[in-house]
């Protein structure tokens, strides 16, 4: 038995998220269907670095699975891509030690969040960036507010209420804004993220950028540990899981 | 009665082309539905610079229609965008003389054709560029072959067989290749294009770029006036109508 690690990209638009749910089209379901077919009907379980919600994209999600097939590693990528739907692509496959675990071995993750502030949204970006209806935020204020988030904190304020995780202390290594034409990208790296954490941070910093909240209010939000003090959860289709580090 | 000219963009993926066809979702149908609603049920006919095929995109298609509504021009754009589906956007609306005609007044058009030669196609580009499965063409040879196309010629060789157009002489002003990361763009401008002309040129030049045809073979292809001498029609989803000049 060998353990294989794969880096995958998917367009989240037409998926009910990553994780298998009865009756729904999910990324995990499509991966397991193809792998089980390759294994002559034997069920192959896929484990990801974490789930992503419906409409959330990935350019660097990582999964692992175990296989007893003897086909060469480099044939796996092509074999999977031939059979997978075109909204999931396998970017890389490598053999890893059997104690590697896509979720438990994670050291860090990087996410990207994209807003488009064109006066009229491009129809080609409608599923891939959040339309601000022409509103341009004050990026300097957003970057100033980000300074309160960087570091090690109890991030209860940025965690969706319906979670079972107990320890909500995480470390955000970096949180930067980049302008790409008429799009604003927020790039955030950390050792781990709570449920909806990136989208709640995006929604809260957006309120700072549009003058609805002061930058230094973030200090109070974090120390409150109260989800109610933070801003709205930003829409899912602006979010990309970009990289997972081990 | 005023005549309005509108510049529109659409993602062709989920349309059966531009032109109304019974039982099909088309761009013209969606535009006429919204305009007729704005005109209290009175049918409003929309005329475009030309039709585009199923899955072909537009970033600068031009249409005109007549209206007796007295609402200000700048309110039209917003009113249309609020009601149109998000895969069509109105970029600009302006009043024009009543002898302006979106099709008959055309002086020139610009199209773009996009190939992606990434080893593994990005799932985000699957409807917006043609996957060459990692094949990288010889762009210099394609540009050399393009030299035979630029100018005024009878372009029967690049015209789909099922056309009723009699005069097949057109002028191609420019035909250039641009590299954008791992994508190749072909940008072509001319005073008019025959049915499928850009896609047949793209398909033929691709054969030059991949060594299946010599660059100077284009000379024979054009003088033959024979569609059978040219290459395959390239897939629709790589094509964008980018600008129409009047």
Return the CATH number at B8.
3.30.70.580
Q: Please choose, from the candidates B3, B1, B29, B32, the residue with its C-alpha nearest in 3D space to the C-alpha of residue B14.
A: B29
B125 and B223 in a single domain? The answer is: yes
Residue B235 clears pLDDT 90, i.e. is over it:
yes
Range of the domain at A236: 108-245
pLDDT value at residue B163: 75
Place of tokens 């801003």: A231
Q: Are residues A179 and A227 part of one domain? A: yes
Q: What percent of chain A has pLDDT over 90?
A: 94
Give the pLDDT of residue B165.
83
**One domain, residues B83 and B141:** no
Q: Which of A50, A71, A96 is the last residue of a domain?
A: A96
Q: If contacts are CB pairs under 8 Å, which of residues 52-111 in chain B contact chain A?
A: 57, 77, 81, 86-91
> Does residue A103 form part of some domain?
no
Q: Are A118 and A234 in the same domain?
A: yes
For B48-68, the pLDDT digits (tens) are 999 999 999 999 999 999 999
Q: Tell me, yes or no, whether B103 lies in a domain.
A: no
Residue A231: give its domain's CATH number: 3.30.70.660
Exposure string for B62-74, b = 16+ CB within 10 A, e = fewer? bbbbebebeeeee
Q: Is residue B121 part of a domain?
A: yes
Total domain count for chain A? 2
Which chain B residue has its CA at the smallest distance from A124's CA? B11
Provide the CA A101 distance to its chain's centre, in angstroms: 18
Q: What is the pLDDT of residues A88-135, one digit of tens each?
A: 999 999 999 999 999 999 999 999 999 999 999 999 999 999 999 999
- Name the residue in chain A with its Cα closest to that of B10: A123
Minimum distance, in Å, between the CA of residue A234 and any CA atom of chain B: 19
Q: Are residues A197 and A227 both part of a single domain?
A: yes
B122, B19: one domain: no
Query: Are residues B114 and B221 both part of a single domain?
Result: yes
Considering the domain boundaries, does residue A115 fall inside one?
yes
Least confident range of A66-75, A147-156, B79-88, B234-243: A66-75
Q: Does A13 touch chain B (CB under 8 A)?
A: no
**Chain B nearest CA to A138, separation (Å):** 25
Chain B: closest CA distance from residue A96 (Å): 22
What is the pLDDT, as a whole number, of residue B108? Answer: 98
Is residue B101 a part of any domain in this protein?
A: no
The answer to whether the CB atoms of B121 and A89 lie below 8 A apart is: yes
For residues B136 and B230, membership in a common domain is answered with yes
Span B210-232, mean pLDDT?
97
Last residue of a domain, one of A72, A96, A120: A96
Residue with tokens 């790409």: A180
pLDDT digits (tens, 9 = 90+) for A149-165: 999 999 999 998 777 78
Q: What is the pLDDT of residue A71?
A: 87
Reported as a single tens digit per residue, the pLDDT across A178-231 is 999 999 999 999 999 999 999 999 999 999 999 999 999 999 999 999 999 999
Instruction: Please write the tens of the pLDDT for every residue from A7-37.
Output: 999 999 999 999 999 999 999 999 999 999 9
Query: What pLDDT, on a 0 to 100 scale, did the predictor assign at position B73?
Result: 87
Q: Please state, rounded to an integer, the average pLDDT across all residues of chain B.
A: 96
Report how far apart, in Å, the C-alpha atoms of A187 and of each of A112, A200, B201 are. Answer: 5, 14, 41
């Amino acid at each position: 038995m060998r353990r294989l690690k794969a880096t995958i990209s998917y367009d989240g638009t037409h998926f009910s998220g990553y994780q298998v749910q009865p009756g729904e089209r999910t990324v995990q379901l499509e991966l397991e269907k193809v792998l089980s077919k390759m294994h002559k009907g034997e069920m192959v379980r896929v484990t990801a670095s974490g789930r992503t919600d419906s409409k959330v994209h990935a350019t660097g999600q990582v999964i692992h699975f175990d296989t007893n097939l003897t086909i060469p590693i480099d044939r796996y990528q092509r074999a999977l891509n031939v059979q997978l739907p075109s909204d999931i692509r396998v970017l890389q496959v490598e053999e890893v030690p059997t104690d590697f675990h896509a979720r438990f071995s994670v050291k860090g993750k990087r996410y990207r969040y994209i807003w488009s502030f064109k006066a009229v949204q491009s129809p080609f970006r409608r599923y891939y960036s959040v339309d601000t209806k022409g509103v341009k935020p004050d990026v300097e204020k957003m970057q100033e507010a980000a300074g309160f988030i960087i570091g090690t904190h109890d991030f209860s304020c940025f965690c969706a209420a319906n979670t079972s995780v107990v320890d909500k202390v995480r470390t955000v290594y970096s949180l930067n804004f980049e302008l790409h034409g008429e799009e604003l990208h927020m790039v955030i790296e950390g050792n781990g993220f709570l449920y909806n954490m990136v989208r709640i941070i995006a929604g809260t910093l957006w309120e700072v950028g549009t003058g609805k909240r002061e930058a230094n209010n973030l200090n109070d939000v974090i120390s409150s540990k109260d989800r109610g003090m933070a801003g709205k959860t930003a829409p899912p289709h602006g979010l990309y899981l970009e990289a997972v580090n081990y």
